Amino acid sequence: RLIPVDYASHSAHVETIEQHLTEALAGITPQTSTVPFFSTVQPGFLNTTELDAGYWYRNLRQTVHFHTAIEQLTKSGHTTYIESSAHPVLTYSIEEVEGADTITGTLRRNEGTLTRLLTSAAHLHTHG
């Protein structure tokens, strides 16, 4: 499935948009969150005041450590994962991590309805 961008994420191509991204995000001031934030850029919990333009550039440019992040979260006791997206493509990767028990997406391609969202919520409910 083609994505209409003129750079390849997580590659040197992103370097061509670094200045544009820095300027576009310049007016955003990261705030402290009450919800813990686990980063896939530098796997581990991160203070959300660090989510500045530089962080989001690194997020787009560097390797995503998704599998490492899920492994670390699972080892620390997390077993339920919800992929919040228009189409769940990462749920399959999560299923490969031993100890990740309940995994679901929210929506699916061509199923972006409240019924789909509620069906996903029902899946979570019936799995504890």
Alpha-carbon distance values, 12 to 7, 42, 81, 112 (Å) = 9, 18, 31, 33
Q: Are residues 35 and 71 in the same domain?
A: no
User: Where a domain ends, among 31, 64, 97?
Assistant: 64
Decide the pairing of beta strands 44-46 and 37-39. antiparallel
Structural domain count of the chain: 2
Pick 7 or 115 by higher pLDDT: 115
pLDDT of res. 55? 94
Q: Are residues 111 and 56 in the same domain?
A: no
pLDDT above 80 (res 7): no
pTM score of the predicted model: 0.80
Q: Are residues 35 and 59 in the same domain?
A: yes
pLDDT of res. 1? 65
Q: Are residues 60 and 76 in the same domain?
A: no
Q: Are residues 30 and 76 in the same domain?
A: no
Q: Are residues 5 and 58 in the same domain?
A: yes
Q: Are residues 59 and 72 in the same domain?
A: no
Q: Are 86 and 109 in contact (CB under 8 A)?
A: yes
Alpha-carbon distance values, 60 to 18, 49, 76, 115, 119 (Å) = 10, 18, 26, 32, 32
Give the domain range for residue 9. Answer: 1-64
Give residue 85's pLDDT band: very low, low, confident or very high (50, 70, 90): confident
